[in-house]
């Protein structure tokens, strides 16, 4: 993944790696009539100090629940473009109040001949 903006380097990171979700994605008719796998990798910037001190899930980013929301959203989506899907996932992540920024990469394996996958990666920050 690409470099971290300097203003985020003082925050802690949570990594969610290699989520595989089946969804309808693509612009061609043959892509619209069946589910395909997409691969999702996420880095979240937050401050874990409070959760580390309390050892309480109430003070932490509940990444289990966040992952469930992402899996549900992606599996139900009907996006034509990866660009739309990666933005929607980023928006969903930033709804969590403790999360300051998120890097989301979504890949579509087998989308291009002679390539393992095609992917889009974005970095979005809380406004």
Q: Could you tell me the CA-to-CA distances from 47 to 10, 14, 126 in Å, in that order?
A: 9, 10, 14
Q: Is the pLDDT of residue 1 over 60?
A: no
Query: CA-CA distance, 78 to 43, in Å (whole number)?
Result: 24
Q: What is the pLDDT of residue 119?
A: 95
Give the mean pLDDT of 38-67.
Answer: 96
In the chain, domain spans: 6-125
The per-residue pLDDT for 33 is 87
Fold classification of 6-125 is: GTP Cyclohydrolase I, domain 2 (3.30.1130)
Cβ count near 108 (within 10 Å): 20
- Could you tell me the strand order of the sheet in which 12-23 lies? 12-23, 36-46, 101-109, 117-125
The pLDDT score that the predictor gives to residue 110 is 79
pLDDT in tens, 79-103: 999 999 999 999 999 999 999 999 9
């Amino acid at each position: 993944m690409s470099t971290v903006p300097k203003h985020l380097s003082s925050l802690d990171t949570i990594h969610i790696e290699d989520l595989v979700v089946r969804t309808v994605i693509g612009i061609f008719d043959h892509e619209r009539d069946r589910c395909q796998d997409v691969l999702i990798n996420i880095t979240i910037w937050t401050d874990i100090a409070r959760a580390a001190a309390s050892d309480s899930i109430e003070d932490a980013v509940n990444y289990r629940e966040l992952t469930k929301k992402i899996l549900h959203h992606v599996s139900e989506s009907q996006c034509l473009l990866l660009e739309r899907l990666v933005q929607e996932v980023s928006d969903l992540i930033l709804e969590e109040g403790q999360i300051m920024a998120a890097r989301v990469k979504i890949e579509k394996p087998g989308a291009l001949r002679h390539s393992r996958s095609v992917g889009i990666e974005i970095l979005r920050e809380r406004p």
